[in-house]
Structure 1
Amino acid sequence: MGTSGSYGGSGSARWDAAHEAFTELHAAGDSSPAAAVADFLDKVLKALATALVFDDIDHGIVPPVGFPLHPSVYRPTGGGGGAGSATGRVGSGSPRQVLRGAARGAGAVAGAYALRDGDDAGLRELGLDPEQLATLGPRAQVAHILQVILGDAAHPDDAALRRATAKHVKAVILADVPPSPADSIRGLVAEWIYELTLVELGSQQASASTSAAEMIRKQDWLRSWLNRRVRDIEIPDANRMTVQQFSAVAAKVTEEALRIFRSPSP
């Protein structure tokens, strides 16, 4: 099982262990994780984190200098902030950008907050044009921010990042009352790890012993458990962050989440 050996860690012993842990997770019955299932969920998270850290180009550790925030990092070459491919994975077999992906996704979420708050300087720092955004409706603004900052989803990991990020950019721009920046960071990190997991584990199909309904339930439990395990990660006052700091904190929260998942459960 797995997607393909061309997608980073697929087919490795670490992902085999993650597949095995996910297979052992019995999710029949209740719609939310019961205490008896918690140990199995933690085992799944530990296996996932181990595989992702091994695959990550930064080995699950944010470098001391962090990741640069510059329009060229997010915007495709050729200028203008139009369509194109951002700095996702270059091709088959290339290392995963787990921490850098979190930073990129957070850049898009930071752009959503900057738009909502009228922070033109923050938008320009991300390579976004405030005047152009002002001519668009809310849903078009969401699409534009995602395209400029994330680029085309040419690889399954890029598509996973876009799905994870879109959920939180929409929540900031479209909701009457947006989530707090800290909640957005935690939610983005959990969703990003979840979507990466589906890239690897999504090929697990219902079998004679596992119904399609149970597969969906297991995935829902995993997503819920990811959010539960990251919700207490401490975040500085995100309301006062620059877009650079917002992006950097998301990478650090991802690093901390992967560390927690690999540690014994409390």
Structure 2
Amino acid sequence: MAESKTPKWRQLADELAEEIRNGDRLPGSLLPQIRELVETTGWAYDTVRNAYRALEDEGLIVSRKGQGTYVADILGKIHRDATSRYSKVARESAGSRGAFDTEIRNLGMTPKSVSKVYRAQPPEKVAEILGVSRRGKSTAVRERTMFADQTVVQIATSYFPGDVAFDTALEQEDTGPGGSISRLAEAGFVQASMTEQLEVRQPEKAEAAALGIPADRPVVEITHIGRTDEGRAVEVCIHVVPANLWSFSFTWSVDQPN
């Protein structure tokens, strides 16, 4: 019989993927360490390592620094539909604190955010977009670590101009149903247009630590800019997500010829 042309690491990855999808390895369960699997199966170290890396790229397993490798709680990827996620219905569904909460609840999982709220001097690019001074604490900042069940799936930092956000609900840890976008709307700063810029890059050391991912695991940085009808930017949010855990879609209308 001719030897399979499929690389050995791919063969092993397919075997493990089938076990996960069949329920033989349950979500959240601990996988053997690479060296342990080498000893029990006879596969080469690089073969096992590459198989684990492929499964992590496919969103089936997650590595948690200092803890080990686990079957992902989410089998597949979290889908971020930028076309509909910011609607009032999506943001406030079932008391959600924003679009992220709704996305995670729709997967049958529990969302959680750990927030730090403070005033700070914004980064240069944020100050330029918001039209605020880089001197002094000119912005209110909401820094969040965001979970789906026990897995950190996103870190996000929002910046708001001081004259919009200081001494308002935006400086509370819990901004209430609909999150910061709903609170801005109530204050007369409806985000009438939004821009999102995506960049795939390597994580900074602090980002990798916060997300619990290897330093060489790519992340997607999403820069969200919310503007009023008058064109004023009232929020800049920098989202950083592991590339292997998320997928994205955008839908828009195109002018049709007469």
TM-score, length basis structure 2 = 0.32
For CA contacts below 8 A with separation 6 or more, give which structure has more relative contact order.
1
* Higher normalized strand content (fraction of residues): 2
Q: Greater Rg, structure 1 or structure 2?
A: 2
TM-score, length basis structure 1 = 0.32
